[in-house]
Amino acid sequence: MWKRDEAVRPPQPTSGNATSGTAEPSAIRTEATRQQERDMVNIGKSVVIKGELSGSEDLTIEGQVEGRIELKQNVLTIGPNGRIKAEIFAKSIVVQGEVHGNITASERADIRDNGSVDGDLSAPRIAIADGAHFRGSIDMQRTAGGTKPTVEHKGSDSKSSDKSPEHRSVVETKPAATVGSAAQPVSQTTVSPPVR
């Protein structure tokens, strides 16, 4: 939640030291972090979106999305609380929560420890932590340019077998195309720049 608060917080007035050439490295780092946080858009835990979500900036989802997500030039992060039933297209995808649906990343897909994906995964670079749950297919066919796909291996603990079947669905899960939700009806949501 703190990230969302940061995202909508208006820019703080900066002191001359922070922007001058003699600024402390830590101050510069803090400012850069703040800027990054301001640029990051969050969908909070309580938000439910059904429909199509597209945008042109990095996005973190902690809530629920059903339908289709397109961030073809940007990074999509499914946070630990994120619950997605959608077809996902993004430049780079980090999964820490649950995804039911196919994932296509033009650069990289990263399923972190405790992340869960039920669906087909297609990306030139793939990282799957050992604690992650994955069920589906991984497309690692060579690209037209002849470059080999890269897959990274992280972590050592296993938890995938402990996941109950309730956390899984069929591999070929297709995202629902329904529009509207009882909780928060949104027919189409386009990610817009954060309020500053």
Partner 1 sequence: MAELFKWSGRNRDDAAGSAPTPAAAETVTSSKVFQRFIAALTPRPSPVLLDLGPVVGANISFYGERLACKLYVEDLFAEIEAIHRRGAADTMSTALVERLHHGEASIDGILCWDLFDFLDRATGQAVAARLIKMLKAGGALHALFGTTAVELTHYTRFIVEADDSLRQRPYPATKVKRMVRQMGDINRLFDGLKGIESVLLKTSARETLFRK
Closest distance to partner 1 from the beta carbon of 95 (Å): 13
Q: State the Cα torsion 111-142-139-113 to the nearest 10°.
A: -10
Toward partner 1, which CB reaches closer, 65 or 127? 127
Per DSSP, what are the bridge partners of residue 99? 84, 117
Look-up of token digits 């799957």: 128
Using alpha carbons, select from 30, 27, 61 the residue that is nearest to residue 47. 61
Closest distance to partner 1 from the beta carbon of 86 (Å): 20
Toward partner 1, which CB reaches closer, 155 or 194? 155
Please count the other Cβ atoms lying within 10 Å of the Cβ belonging to residue 178. 10
Toward partner 1, which CB reaches closer, 28 or 170? 170
Residues that bind partner 1 (CB under 8 A): 126-130, 132-142, 148-156, 158, 160-165, 170-171
Closest distance to partner 1 from the beta carbon of 29 (Å): 31
